[in-house]
Structure 1
Amino acid sequence: MAVIELNNVSIRYKVGDFKAIGLKEYVIRKIKRNYHVQEFWADRHITFSLEKGDMLGIIGANGAGKSTLLKAIAGIMTPTEGSVQCQGSIAALLELASGFDGELTIRENTYLRGAMLGYTRKFMNERYEEIVSFAELADFQDRPFKQLSSGMKSRLAFSIASLVDPDILILDEVLSVGDGAFRKRSEKKMMEIIRGGATTILVSHSLEQVQNMCNKVLWLHKGRQVEFGDRVDDVCVRYQDFLDNKIQL
């Protein structure tokens, strides 16, 4: 049984509608007959499924629709067309600072993020020391979150997401932030999660990372699905050839 299943998923943005410009400006433009709506399809006809324990690497240039697709899988967005089915709890780390309050301390933000993921205070009490230790932030627990470097924010966010034992873990360019030592520990932790049965999706610009960690790969280009399958090395080689202008789509 598939843990994640996408069937012909398409996601459309409307540029210039009243939600973007405000009601007052919308009315004025309608009166002047100067109201126009442009449609932009971020993703078109994406279809794939993942089983328990799969780790999918999503590759593609900027603007390929990777982050938008992750939001649909995480339940943040509803597809314009098609369907997304997910089984189990989801921990999605899509933006480093999302779900954090810059004025709160690391300790307070850890509990806040845990609550947003649906975990009890008792559970967070039991895992708190493990979280801050893995993130290498034990000496900074009472420092305001806004004072952290991007790497420190990434470590905390990843640590919370990966240590709460989700059924589905979604990571958007998280493992590319931080020093080399933390990246290695993160990759090791990811492998532990996979062996524990979690289904994981990783967006990464590092083909080496995708080849080393993922058993399936999805290549997107300008919102369209180029390839999906378990021949990860082969797809990554073709994608690199595309980047080097050796092939055209």
Structure 2
Amino acid sequence: MEKYIVEVDHLTIRFNMASEKVDNLKEYVIKLVKKELNFKEFLALKDVSLKVKKGEAWALIGVNGSGKSTLLKAISGILKPYKGTVSVYGEIAPLIELGAGFDGNLTARENIYLNGTVLGHSKKFMDQHFDEIVDFAELWNFLDTPIKNFSSGMKARLGFSVATMVAPDVLIVDEILAVGDFLFRKKCTERMNQMLAGGTTLLYVSHNIDSVKELCTHALWLDQGRVRSAGEVNEVCDEYEKLEKK
């Protein structure tokens, strides 16, 4: 029997949201210390299950606020379950938030090494792959520029290039490629297809349904934190698009 590389079993994620308006941080802290701040429970994900086999490409679709990014953060280990379990059997490279893992005051050159360290790579390894990373990101002219001066597209280029330098077991991509230009998105799509052909598993969030159908074999449709539909990508996406057009 073929094993799953990602297993999400009856997952519920809960956030506590302040139920009253607080105008500034000082007022928030005072109310919190005095226990005068009331919280309202918000369930971002409700009883979600997902099983992904090695080498599969799954898209997470749904309108903004449906829980897609929350699910990816739970799979990445950033968020802990309130109920249910999440199991991942392999190395993850998460591209979830634009600029995550970068220090804005450091240059692109310094951030490449910083990101590499976070991913568990040695300086020697990063030295060997440095030119490859910069070539793919097309940022030779900006290597000694602080990241805080980069456009969102430039940050996306650098983040994607470092994360995909070595094919992980599971690649997680959350909408960050939407900020890149057409040619760079095409380049990223080609690299992701190469990684899929090599056995990498992909979890992909995008509002571009054409991109989803091009890259993915399966789709999970989330609606207000619940699974609305899951299965073959064209069937789920067609069902989703019909509802969105109403």
- Bin for the TM-score computed over the shorter chain: over 0.9
Q: CA–CA distance in 1 between the matches of 2:206 and 2:29?
A: 38
Q: Give the C-alpha shift of residue 235 in structure 1.
A: 1.0
**Cα displacement string for residues 34-85 of structure 1 (whole angstroms, at most 9, x for unaligned residues):** 5422000000111111111111111000000111111100001111010000
Structure-1 residue corresponding to 2:144: 142
Number of matched residues?
238
Question: In structure 2, what is the Cα distance between the partners aligned to 1:207 and 1:9?
Answer: 25
For residues 65 and 72 of structure 1, the distance between their equivalents in structure 2, rounded to whole angstroms, comes to 11
Q: Equivalent of 1:51, from 47, 50, 53?
A: 53
Query: 1:138 Cα deviation (Å)?
Result: 1.5
Structure 1: runs of 5+ lacking an equivalent:
none
Query: Cα deviation per residue 1:153-186 (whole Å; 9 max; x = unaligned)?
Result: 1100011111122111111102222111111111
Q: 1:96 to 1:27 in 2, by over 3 A?
A: closer
| Corresponding residue for residue 161 of structure 2 | 159
After TM superposition, the score normalised by the length of structure 2 is 0.93
Equivalent-residue separation in structure 2 for 1:85 and 1:227 (angstroms): 21
Q: Percent identity?
A: 44
Contact kept in structure 2, 1:93 and 1:174, CA below 8 Å: yes
Moved over 6 A (4+): none
The alignment status of 1:75 with 2:94, answered yes or no, reads no
- 2:240 maps to a residue whose letter is Y
Which letter does structure 1 place at the counterpart of 2:245? D
- Whether 1:127 aligns to 2:133 is no
Report what 1:38 is aligned to. 40
Superposition deviation, residue 122 in structure 1: 1.5
Do residues 243 (structure 1) and 244 (structure 2) align? yes
Alignment correspondent of 2:171: 169
CA RMSD of aligned residues (A): 1.5
Q: CA deviation at 1:94?
A: 0.8
Q: State yes or no: 1:25 paired with 2:31.
A: yes
Q: In structure 2, what is the Cα distance between the partners aligned to 1:149 and 1:83?
A: 37
Q: Is the CA contact 2:31–2:37 (under 8 Å) kept in the aligned structure 1?
A: no
Report the residue type matching 1:164 in the other structure.
Answer: V
State the match for 1:89 in structure 2.
Answer: 91
CA drift of 1:23 comes to: 5.5
Match 1:220 to one of 222, 229, 233: 222
Distance 2:124 2:199 in 1: 24
Rounded Cα–Cα distance in structure 1 between residues aligned with 2:138 and 2:41: 44
Q: Is the 8 A contact 1:175 1:187 kept in 2?
A: no
Task: State the shift of 1:202 in Å.
Answer: 0.6
2:32 counterpart letter in structure 1: Y
CA distance in 2, matches of 1:164, 1:105: 22
